[in-house]
Amino acid sequence: MDFSLLLVLAVALSGVVYLLDVLVLKPKRRQRFATAEANTKEGLDPATSEKLLKEPWPVDYARSFFPVLLVVLLVRSFVIEPFQIPSGSMRPTLEVGDFILVNKFAYGLRLPVVNTRFIEVDDPERGDVMVFRFPGEPSVNFIKRVVGMPGDRIRYEGKQLFINGEAVAKELIEEGPEGSPQQLLLAERLGDAEHFIYNNPRDPGPQMREVEVPEGHYFMMGDNRDHSNDSRYWGFVPEENIVGRAFGVWMHWDGGLPSFTSVRRIE
C-alpha cells in the first residue's frame, strides 16, 4: 500500500470534514443554541448548552488530526522523509536495519503520489546515493548509487565498471573485512565522490555489455556489487521515479534495542 496516497487521503478527508463544520455544521449548532436560549426565559442549563454546542465526534477527530497530518504530509513530501534499509545491496555504505534520511528537495519539489516535479532545483550527480521508485513496481522504493548519467556509456565486465570507455578507479583497502570474510573492501571514485564497495572474488557476478543511458534516465548500482538487484538487471531509472537524495543515517535497528552509535553522513 502506498503510504503517500494514504496520507494524502487522510489529509483530504479530515480537511473536508473540518471545512464542512466551519462553513455549515457549526453555524447550524449556534443557530439551534440561540433559538433554544431565546425560547427559555430562565436560560439554558450548562448541560443543555454543552449538548447543543458539542461537536460531532467526526468533526472533533478531524479538527484534532488535520493540522498534524498536514504538517507530516508537507515535511514528508517536500523536506525530509525517513526510510529503513531492508537489504544488503548497499553494503558496506549502508547496513540492513539502518534508518536513513532522504532530502526531498535536493532534486526539485515533487507532488505527492504522482511524483511530478513542479519546481526544479538540481539534478542527480554521479556518485549520489539516491532513493527512487522501482520502475517495475512504482509502489516499491529502491536505494542505489547513481553511476550513469544521461548520455553515458556504461559497461560492467570482470568486476570492473567502465564509464564512457574508461575504467573507474578503485583501490583495494582490505581482504576479508570484519563481518564479510568473503568480500574485498575497495575504495571507488565516481567523479568527485569516493566511497567503499564490496566485491566477492569467488562469485563471478553479473557481466554487462556496453549500454547508453537515455536522456532523462539514470543508471543505478548497489555498492555490494555482486549482490545487488540494480540497473544491470532491469535497466534505467526515469527522472519521474526519483524520490530524493539519501544524506544521513540517524538510527540502526536490527530487532533488538535501537542504536544511535552509527549516526553518520552518507558518502
Give catalytic residues, as residue numbers.
Answer: 89, 144
**What is the rounded distance in angstroms from the CA atom of residue 100 to the CA atom of residue 251?**
7
Q: CA-CA distance, 104 to 78, in Å (whole number)?
A: 5
Instruction: Say which amino acid occupies 148.
Output: G
The CA distances from residue 214 to 40, 130, 150, 211, in Å, are 78, 18, 5, 9
Q: How many CA atoms lie within 13 A of 107 on its CB side?
A: 28
- Are the C-beta atoms of 248 and 264 separated by less than 8 Å? yes
- If DSSP codes are grouped into helix, strand and coil, which group holds residue 222? coil
- How far, in Å, CA of 38 to CA of 26, rounded? 18
